[in-house]
Structure 1
Amino acid sequence: MGRRHEVAAARKALGESRSVTLTGAGGAGKTRLALRVGEEVARAFRDGVWLVELAALDDAGMLAQTVVEALEIRGPSARDPLWVLTDHLRDKQALLILDNCEHLVEECAVLVERLLRAAPGVRVLATGRQALGIAGEQTLTVPPLPLPATGEPRESLDALLRYDAVRLFAERARAILPTFAVTEENRDVVTAICRHVDGLPLAIELAAARLRALSAQHILDLLDDRFRLLTAGSPAVLPRHQTLRALIDWSYELCSQQERLLWERAAVFADGFWLSSAEEVCAGSDIAREEVVDLVIGLVDKSILIREEHQQDVRYRMLETIRQYGRDRLTASGQESTLRRRHRDHYQALAARVRSELFGPAQVSWFTRLHLENANLRTALDYSFGETGETEAGIDMATDLLYHWITSCYLGEGRRWLDQGLAAYTEPDEIRARALWTGAWLAILQADAPAATSMLDESRSIGERLRDESILGYTALFSGMIAMSDGRAETAIKLYEDALARHADSQDPVGRALSLIRLSLVHSRLGNFSLAETLAEECMAVCDAYGEGWHRAYCSMALGVAAWRQEDLGRATELEKQSLRFNRSLGDALGAGVALEVLAWTAATQKRYRRAARLLGCLLTVWRSAGAPLSGYGFMADYHDGCAARTRKALGETAFATALRQGARLSYDEALAFGLEEDRPAEEESAEPAPLTRRESEIARLVAQGMTNKEIAASLVIAQRTAEGHIEHILTKLGFNSRAQIAVWVGEQARSSHGI
């Protein structure tokens, strides 16, 4: 396995301090060690171990938002990302791995201090070139991999292979040449290579990759020449950062001129790229488009690019050290500005294409692709809003990405890009009007009605002056949403009908589908069930004609509401599950939350009260992820409240609270699985399995008798500290925070077992 000593030291440090930072030179293996430690301590963190990759983050202002996204805090929120983050983690027991903090040391220090103060169950494991410098932080230096000492007696071959550096070289060499082995004949050469690169994992991997074309002796000879050149013949031990730089310089010079150009140009991508993107951005001026594929293959062979499988396609990325090296070369060449512009143009075109193909069968694959490309989209937008004369392109791109912002955990980021664009681009034209109603929808989903109203008023004014039916249709639609949230149903109907007519005139299936969904919901609300179903079925027909899925899922939800209101409960349940399945596949927390809401109401109407209560508990997690309860569907809140009141009355306060806690303890994914009844269909109606072990149950009964920790320890002949640990586990498992709650629970279990 390797790194046993460092792993043990890091685990010990995490046990003693809530903030631990792994420091060391680039390529020393800090990330790999942090991930290994995370795997080994995962069971100690009830709410998971989360990796936050910061290497591609250039904007320090996006730090908190990046952590929010990494933690998959889904859905809309108008609140400051740091506030969202601290609120989400407040009662969590989790480990955050902040990887590559070196360029954001001060910002990471502020963030970590804030999180540790707000969330007592959270610990942070950071990696970087230096410590964060916060109070209580423990710092561990990640050394090079162990090597045989020079001048020591020659060890056996088996003993040599126990050194991590030699073993890593052998493993990577076998990946290149399956027949490779460290033998008596090559052991000295292999050992010398590992010593020359100071045992740095990245350097060892790059050296081993050269075995595709060179012998081990040739590699050693070239390393000698290169190091002597870089250090002016100094016999001193090389600094590790110089060693890594030397090896990357050497790898660069082993590439052909065209491969070097592609390396430099591909470094403009923030977090990986597809072959088609490289062809679009990197071709031209000494690289023909048709040559890109062979150059990519060459860079993969030389371990400059890493190949990653994504469903049925392949994506490429560079290690950050490799990418930064290429970026430095690109800057020195004077071509960085040109490549950044090409990069932005490519992603602007991608956003426009996704918008044009939004309502169709490729919808899910496009949304998935945009999710993978978010770092590149962010880089493209940053270029647009940072360069003189590019604001129009930026606001147009941010608007085209509307459904990317809505169907992922990037809604808050999308709102900020649009706000930035609207502040800078003031021309009262179609571009601004479209950005205004787009921003208004995001604001509605964030429950920010005043801002939405202001944006819609301006967008409507521009639309009237331009006589643009599409603009007027969307401003009417979103104004109807605000009216419905305010309880003005008749006004909402008029606005929705106006929107529907305008979208029909402009032949916009997206606008038609959205208008029909909202009209169906409002008529269900008013008891006009036949009309509600007719409208929803019309929406289904529009979606099916285009092979569209996302709007159809919301339409299924609307039909389910109408079925529930008419107590057609089996149909309502199936319709909501259809909606939930699709929204889960898309990562849409808002859509998943609405479907779960209706499933809870339906369960209560079916008198499946325990399931209803657990679903209400699940919703505490889901709506927290979505940012605001029922968000843009706030007019449904009284259905939620009625369901909760009816369920509480049927179960009794204690049983209701217990079931609610059981649902709330589920993770986001577990909550959706429970809603779909993918665990055990009748589980919630059967007797709950005992959540405590035999020893914990015994201690819980002694707590209920009023015994102190010391008395419990004496009674069971165990250490007082052991008794205290058991009680902490009991509190955690049952979701309690006091001994009195344990006593009440024990009494309930006793009554239940006797049929009382």
Structure 2
Amino acid sequence: MDALAPATSKRLRAQRLPAEVTSFVGRRHEVAEVKRLLSGAHVVTLTGAGGVGKTRLALRVAADVRRAFRNGVWLVELAALDEPELLVQTVAEALEIRDRSPRPPLKVLTDHLRDKQALIILDNCEHLLHDCAVMTETLVRAAPDLRVLVTSRQTLGVDGEHTLTVPPLALPDSGLVRPSTEALAQSDAVRLFAERAGAVLADFAVTDDNREAVEGICRRLDGLPLAIELAAVRLRAMSVQQLFNRLDDRFRLLTSGSRAVLPRHQTLRALIDWSYALCTDQERALWERVSVFAGDLDLEAAETVCSGDGIASGEIVDLVIGLVDKSVLVREEYPSGVRYRLLETIRQYGRDRLRESGEEGALRRRHRDYYRRLSSEAYNRLFGPSQVAWFSRLQREHANLRAALEYCSTESGEVATGLDMASDLLYHWITSYYLGEGRRWLDQALAADTEPSEARARALWANGWLAVLQDDIPTAAVMLEESRVIGERLGQESVLAYVALYFGMVAANEGDVKSSIALYEEAVTRHRAAGNLAGLALALIRLSLSHSLVGDSSRAISVGEECLALCDAHGESWHRAYAMMALGVEAWRQGDVQRAVDLEKKSLRFNRSLNDSLGVAISLEVLAWVAATERQYRKAARLLGILRTVWEAIGTPLSGFTHLIHYHDECESRARQALGESAFSTAVERGARLPYDEALAYALGEEAPGNGQTDEAVRPSLLTRREMEIAQLVAQGMSNKEIAASLVIAQRTAEGHIEHILSKFGFTSRAQIAVWVGDWNRTTQDDQRDPGDSA
């Protein structure tokens, strides 16, 4: 007869879960989601890579919900169990069932749980999937009030199973604007490192001096909790910078885990060895081959690069599914389709295995060939309806493009291919954050391949344009002159057309607008004759701006509208956005403010969607000039503050358009004089503090969905009236109990509201709520005190 040992007291029930000996960091969203799933599903499985924190998350959820299970919450640790036939007995022992009858163990377990309201955590099931699935399905069919929470690198596959993939800890934002040290320290991965480092070095903190090394460590380790914790321990013997510098050899470096856990959880290498052992031979081979990709990849890339030598192209999709199921590959959804990613630590493991197999060189060559073809196709589709899709694809593939260029620069005989590839990527360098990187690739390839060929001439004028955008005019002129000489020698009309175009930019930036007009007209003639539509459109845009600068309004408008018509005829968008920007400048100069604003906002919206920071910045400039002209001086000053941040991120104020700098200076002078130094500085700082997306929403005057409010009200509009009231009390330093007493509500209700506020804003602490409330209150007070955008 089965009998539960006398372990029903609150004291013993509390001991069924291990105590948390270190702080639990982050996972606010995941904790809430697992609780939600458990409220309706009998089986919830947490999947994810080894070391991602599945067990820790399960235990935190269990501790939070244990009051809801009157018959207890039980942890069953299966990592050390190698004999499937002992699974049921192990579960029974964990549940403290004492039974000496001859009944089958599964019958004993089922009968015991039949009328129980309990939660069982089956921890580390990946090596016992079939047996765990059979047992779990039997138990939940027999016990309607039973819940089973599973942690595994692969799902059980039982009926009614709900799954949650546990991601690595959140890393700091890596957008256009560099976060402050305080904001950096609030990201979950950095918080975990800092807390674990503080246990090793009592005075450790994230500072301006060590922030780059700390962030680098967390990024190199993918936000993987186990890897971060192992890394923090090494601070006993080395500095943060030394630790970061040695992470390339991470599998030897990160070896000191807790002696209280299984050997395979004590070191990073052993943990991933365990995942590797669970794969089939073909899955292991694909894992190794996929490691040549940097960042992520799509199915087409995997089929092209990784097939052959024992893996048919048609088998790739099933092998990919297998690696996703085993939490080796991470599946990610994009508007363009599904992509797959190896966490960097898992990728490095696969690369080590690939190197040991002797296949690394061949796979790297196939990887380079694939991305060389991709770059060429993108360049050939530069002007047409698929342009934006190709721009976006190249941005997603940037890490792989970089890896392919690295191959060209390090392998003998590949420099010429790298030169062509870097030139094909010209618009990628310009429309993304990688302008400086593009120039470095071109500089490097041009220095290594000095043959006066058509490819060199093209690389020279391409690099010349990048130099102009970096305001490096003398170097641009030297490269363009060499390109012209080669073009004339080889009779390359296309080369001469681009040389004229970019020499026109040089002349404009040097203040010689008359010469720039002549050069742009030459470029228009040559590009039109050669049928080069992209070059023609770019020349027309610049010609329109130059005519505007000399006051020839009719020519500025006719040339700009010709460019718009050309783009519309071919379904082209990027050059069209810049043509609208140029026409907006002329509309503003003529006093047609509404048309200028409409054109610039359309241009800004497109460039925002493409993440073209240069295009965004130029349109923001014109909107600031318009605001000053309309005597909206506070708005102009805020836009100047936004521009300060954006131009700092790009690296050069009015990059490639420095001949327009006097418009910027006039705008600043008028706003400063109208507002006074103090009010002007305050408005600029407020603009500079805005997060990038909110800054662009402000410039566009966008409304919060369904609220009819401007962007400054967006965040408050996310909160209910009660939540806003509670946020204000949090900012005053009140505890949950004090807030409940003040508002005459239950403390649990107050806690629930605070949880919602944190979730809506993506915050991780009450302190962040307080900071936000303070900023919002100051903004509201400034708006009430400010005399407004008066004439």
Fold shared per TM-score above 0.5: yes
Relative to 1, partners in 2 of residues 1:422 and 1:30: Cα closer, same or farther, differing over 3 Å?
Answer: farther
Give the partner amino acid of 2:209.
R
What's the RMSD between the two structures over aligned residues? 4.6
| Corresponding residue number in structure 2 for 1:276 | 300
| Corresponding residue number in structure 1 for 2:174 | 71
The answer to whether structure 1 residue 632 and structure 2 residue 656 are counterparts is: yes
Pairs within 5 Å for 1:49-68: none
Aligned residues: 562
| Corresponding residue number in structure 1 for 2:589 | 565
| Corresponding residue number in structure 2 for 1:250 | 277
Give how far 1:290 is off. Answer: 2.6
Relative to 1, partners in 2 of residues 1:241 and 1:552: Cα closer, same or farther, differing over 3 Å?
Answer: closer
Match of 2:239 among 127, 134, 137: 134
Give how far 1:292 is off. Answer: 2.2
Give the partner amino acid of 1:628.
T
Please give the alpha-carbon distance, in whole angstroms, between the structure 1 residues aligned to 2:172 and 2:525: 38
Secondary structure, counterpart of 2:340 in structure 1: strand
Relative to 1, partners in 2 of residues 1:242 and 1:747: Cα closer, same or farther, differing over 3 Å?
Answer: closer
| Corresponding residue number in structure 1 for 2:289 | 265
Pairs within 5 Å for 1:160-309: 200=265, 240-241=267-268, 243-252=270-279, 255=280, 257-309=281-333
Q: C-alpha offsets along residues 76-117 of structure 1, whole Å, 9 cap, x if unaligned? A: xxxxxxxxx7xx86998765757999xxxxxxxxxx999723
Pairs within 5 Å for 1:258-657: 258-657=282-681
Give how far 1:134 is off. Answer: 2.9
Q: Percent identity?
A: 49
Relative to 1, partners in 2 of residues 1:697 and 1:388: Cα closer, same or farther, differing over 3 Å?
Answer: closer
Give the partner amino acid of 1:510.
A
Secondary structure, counterpart of 1:389 in structure 2: coil
Please give the alpha-carbon distance, in whole angstroms, between the structure 1 residues aligned to 2:303 and 2:660: 49
Give how far 1:250 is off. Answer: 1.8
Contact 2:51–2:271 under 8 Å retained in 1: no
| Corresponding residue number in structure 1 for 2:698 | 674
Relative to 1, partners in 2 of residues 1:270 and 1:125: Cα closer, same or farther, differing over 3 Å?
Answer: closer
Pairs within 5 Å for 1:23-42: 27-29=50-52
Give the partner amino acid of 1:324.
Q
Please give the alpha-carbon distance, in whole angstroms, between the structure 2 residues aligned to 1:653 and 1:611: 15
The answer to whether structure 1 residue 116 and structure 2 residue 208 are counterparts is: yes
Contact 2:176–2:692 under 8 Å retained in 1: no
Which residues of structure 2 form unaligned runs of 5+? 1-16, 28-48, 61-170, 194-203, 222-227, 245-253, 717-723, 733-766
Give the partner amino acid of 1:73.
L
Give the partner amino acid of 1:285.
D
Give the partner amino acid of 2:208.
L
Secondary structure, counterpart of 1:664 in structure 2: helix
Q: C-alpha offsets along residues 223-247 of structure 1, whole Å, 9 cap, x if unaligned? A: xxxxxxxxxxxxxxxx545642541
Q: C-alpha offsets along residues 711-730 of structure 1, whole Å, 9 cap, x if unaligned? A: xxxxxxxxxxxxxx99x979
Please give the alpha-carbon distance, in whole angstroms, between the structure 1 residues aligned to 2:509 and 2:55: 49
Which residues of structure 1 form unaligned runs of 5+? 12-25, 38-67, 75-84, 102-111, 150-194, 201-238, 699-724, 737-741
Please give the alpha-carbon distance, in whole angstroms, between the structure 2 residues aligned to 1:376 and 1:505: 36
| Corresponding residue number in structure 1 for 2:23 | 7
Please give the alpha-carbon distance, in whole angstroms, between the structure 1 residues aligned to 2:339 and 2:547: 47
State the TM-score, normalized to the length of structure 1. 0.65
Give the partner amino acid of 2:353.
R
Q: C-alpha offsets along residues 594-626 of structure 1, whole Å, 9 cap, x if unaligned? A: 101111111122222221222122211121222
Give how far 1:661 is off. Answer: 2.1
Contact 1:661–1:735 under 8 Å retained in 2: no
Please give the alpha-carbon distance, in whole angstroms, between the structure 2 residues aligned to 1:261 and 1:749: 65
Please give the alpha-carbon distance, in whole angstroms, between the structure 2 residues aligned to 1:305 and 1:594: 40
Relative to 1, partners in 2 of residues 1:264 and 1:605: Cα closer, same or farther, differing over 3 Å?
Answer: same
Secondary structure, counterpart of 1:117 in structure 2: coil
Contact 1:609–1:651 under 8 Å retained in 2: yes
Secondary structure, counterpart of 1:607 in structure 2: coil
Give how far 1:472 is off. Answer: 0.7
Contact 1:444–1:452 under 8 Å retained in 2: yes
Relative to 1, partners in 2 of residues 1:433 and 1:5: Cα closer, same or farther, differing over 3 Å?
Answer: farther
Secondary structure, counterpart of 2:353 in structure 1: helix
Give the partner amino acid of 1:6.
T
Contact 2:560–2:579 under 8 Å retained in 1: yes
Please give the alpha-carbon distance, in whole angstroms, between the structure 2 residues aligned to 1:502 and 1:32: 66
Relative to 1, partners in 2 of residues 1:733 and 1:508: Cα closer, same or farther, differing over 3 Å?
Answer: same
Give the partner amino acid of 1:251.
L
Give how far 1:352 is off. Answer: 0.5
State the TM-score, normalized to the length of structure 2. 0.63
Give the partner amino acid of 2:175.
E
Please give the alpha-carbon distance, in whole angstroms, between the structure 1 residues aligned to 2:519 and 2:785: 58
Please give the alpha-carbon distance, in whole angstroms, between the structure 1 residues aligned to 2:515 and 2:500: 11
Give how far 1:685 is off. Answer: 12
Give the partner amino acid of 1:503.
H
Relative to 1, partners in 2 of residues 1:471 and 1:115: Cα closer, same or farther, differing over 3 Å?
Answer: farther
| Corresponding residue number in structure 1 for 2:68 | none
Please give the alpha-carbon distance, in whole angstroms, between the structure 2 residues aligned to 1:424 and 1:540: 40
Q: C-alpha offsets along residues 110-142 of structure 1, whole Å, 9 cap, x if unaligned? A: xx999723989x988846554463389999x99
Secondary structure, counterpart of 1:640 in structure 2: helix
The answer to whether structure 1 residue 660 and structure 2 residue 765 are counterparts is: no
Contact 1:90–1:118 under 8 Å retained in 2: no
Q: C-alpha offsets along residues 683-704 of structure 1, whole Å, 9 cap, x if unaligned? A: 6999xx9x99999999xxxxxx
Give how far 1:557 is off. Answer: 0.4
Contact 1:98–1:124 under 8 Å retained in 2: no
Please give the alpha-carbon distance, in whole angstroms, between the structure 1 residues aligned to 2:541 and 2:480: 20
Please give the alpha-carbon distance, in whole angstroms, between the structure 2 residues aligned to 1:137 and 1:293: 41
Secondary structure, counterpart of 2:702 in structure 1: coil
Please give the alpha-carbon distance, in whole angstroms, between the structure 1 residues aligned to 2:412 and 2:299: 30
Relative to 1, partners in 2 of residues 1:312 and 1:395: Cα closer, same or farther, differing over 3 Å?
Answer: closer
Contact 1:563–1:571 under 8 Å retained in 2: yes
Please give the alpha-carbon distance, in whole angstroms, between the structure 2 residues aligned to 1:301 and 1:748: 53
Please give the alpha-carbon distance, in whole angstroms, between the structure 2 residues aligned to 1:750 and 1:275: 57
Relative to 1, partners in 2 of residues 1:246 and 1:369: Cα closer, same or farther, differing over 3 Å?
Answer: same
Relative to 1, partners in 2 of residues 1:595 and 1:403: Cα closer, same or farther, differing over 3 Å?
Answer: same
Give how far 1:326 is off. Answer: 2.7
Relative to 1, partners in 2 of residues 1:730 and 1:591: Cα closer, same or farther, differing over 3 Å?
Answer: closer
Secondary structure, counterpart of 1:427 in structure 2: coil
Contact 2:461–2:483 under 8 Å retained in 1: yes
Contact 2:581–2:603 under 8 Å retained in 1: yes
Give the partner amino acid of 1:338.
A
Choose between structure 1 and 2 for higher RCO, CA contacts under 8 A separated by at least 6 residues.
1
Contact 1:407–1:587 under 8 Å retained in 2: yes
Please give the alpha-carbon distance, in whole angstroms, between the structure 1 residues aligned to 2:363 and 2:474: 41
Report the more deviating stretch, 676-685 or 351-360. Answer: 676-685
Please give the alpha-carbon distance, in whole angstroms, between the structure 1 residues aligned to 2:441 and 2:787: 56
